[in-house]
Amino acid sequence: QPDDRGLIGDVPVLRVTRRGPEAVHFVPAALEPGAEVLLSLDWERRFDHMQQHSGQHLITAIAEQMFGFKTTSWELGRQRSLIELDTPSMTAEQVKALEMSVNEKIRDRVPVTVRELAADDPEVERVRSRGLPDDHVGPVRVVDIEGIDSNMCCWTHVSNLSDLQVIKLLGVEKGKKNKTNLIFLVGNRVLKSLEQSHSTEKALTSLLKNGPGEHVEAVRKLQSSVKLLQKNNLNLLRDMAVLIARDFKSKPAPRQLFVLHRKEGDSEFMNIIANEIGTEETLLFLTVGDEKEAGLFLLAGPVEAVENLGPRVAELLGGKGAGKRDRFQGKAAKMSRRGEVQALLQEFISHRSPEV
């Protein structure tokens, strides 16, 4: 269970940890030794943790009673929590039955009590436990859910299961080493989740112009439409790449440098142009993406030129790339520096071919 937070006087508590029998508080400013201070607890945080932790004790106990699934570990997360159960699988019917049972115990208003036992008390051996920490001193604290569970635990809990309000089991996911993770929410987290889901439902109703029962089908249709548009767009880009290359090759006077930028292009678009034009005699510098932000680049041409210029082009564009023989391509973080790259390429060609 995460630590408590709050104030010591007007100084916020950043963290609390245990060292042996002492609770060590971390604060951003020094406190005067011996000063009398008012302690203020972040009750919303504390109560949330109490609900989730007591809920975990209840789920763990009932899961073992109903199905023989033992809890091997658990995690109290910021938004949802999970219990690792020692079973390779758990059916939807078992999850539903477990959820019904734990909520029935909540409605029964079962008391939750705390007792302290001496470390050598034989009763300690009869309570559920994963063992005491090596640095533990003093009595052993046991949390009892009347008639359901006795568990060694040093954290804070509710005093009655009714304080849990409700438990929602969100389902299971595959755990490690043939175990299953059971995901759950307790109390106020259920209400917050419901509020969030309702807000999402309202937003989708407004966007999709239909009721909640039709949202899934409407999204499926949108996905199909988007896939079709993407396919058509890709075909148009391919056709455009071929036409651009053919237009360049149709010019009466051959040019040694070809530079092109298309915001809506992709890697395939650039490679089609390079394939159509050819890289034996022409040096190509192609870019796609947002002109002022990040994008992709391709440098293609004679092997000697590409091997010499590729890393320098990537450096100028603030990106990374890799190449093999007549191609060097990668990601560019500074597309606005395309002009500098073009100047570099023109200078290289001028030195290689004085007649140009």
Give domain status of residue 316, yes or no: yes
Give domain status of residue 294, yes or no: yes
Give domain status of residue 218, yes or no: no
Are 18 and 68 within one domain?
no
Residue 214: which pLDDT band, with cuts at 50, 70 and 90?
A: very high
Express each pLDDT in 273-320 by its tens digit. Answer: 998 888 788 899 999 988 878 899 999 999 888 988 999 999 999 888
Give domain status of residue 234, yes or no: no
CATH number at residue 105: 3.30.980.10
Are 277 and 174 within one domain?
no
Note whether 133 and 17 are within 8 A (CB). Answer: no
- Give me the DSSP letters along 111-172: BEEEEEE-TT-GGGGGSB-S---TT--SPEEEEEETTTEEEE--S---SBGGGG--EEEEEE
Express each pLDDT in 115-153 by its tens digit. Answer: 988 877 888 777 777 666 666 767 888 999 999 999 988
Are 123 and 18 within one domain?
no
Distances (CA, A) of 33 to 71, 275, 294: 44, 78, 56
Are 10 and 70 within one domain?
no
Domains in the chain, number: 3
Are 148 and 254 within one domain?
no
Domain span at residue 286 reads: 244-351
Which among 137, 153, 133 is positioned nearest to 145, based on CA atoms? 153
pTM flag (> 0.75): no
The CA distance from 340 to 33, in Å, is 64
Helix 43-67, helix 188-208: angle, nearest 10: 90
Are 52 and 121 within one domain?
yes
Find where tokens 């548009």 sit: 229
Other CB atoms closer than 10 Å to residue 165's CB: what's the count? 17
Report residue 156 CA to chain centroid gap. Answer: 29
Are 167 and 268 within one domain?
no
pLDDT at 353: 57
Other CB atoms closer than 10 Å to residue 162's CB: what's the count? 15
Residue 248: which pLDDT band, with cuts at 50, 70 and 90?
A: confident
Are 62 and 108 within one domain?
yes
Are 31 and 101 within one domain?
no
Find where tokens 């890697």 sit: 267
Give domain status of residue 215, yes or no: no
Q: Is the pLDDT of residue 8 over 60?
A: yes
User: Phi, psi (5° rounding) for residue 87?
Assistant: -150, 140
Are 179 and 309 within one domain?
no
Helix 92-107, helix 43-67: angle, nearest 10: 120
Express each pLDDT in 54-113 by its tens digit. Answer: 999 999 999 999 999 999 999 999 999 999 999 999 999 999 999 999 999 999 999 999
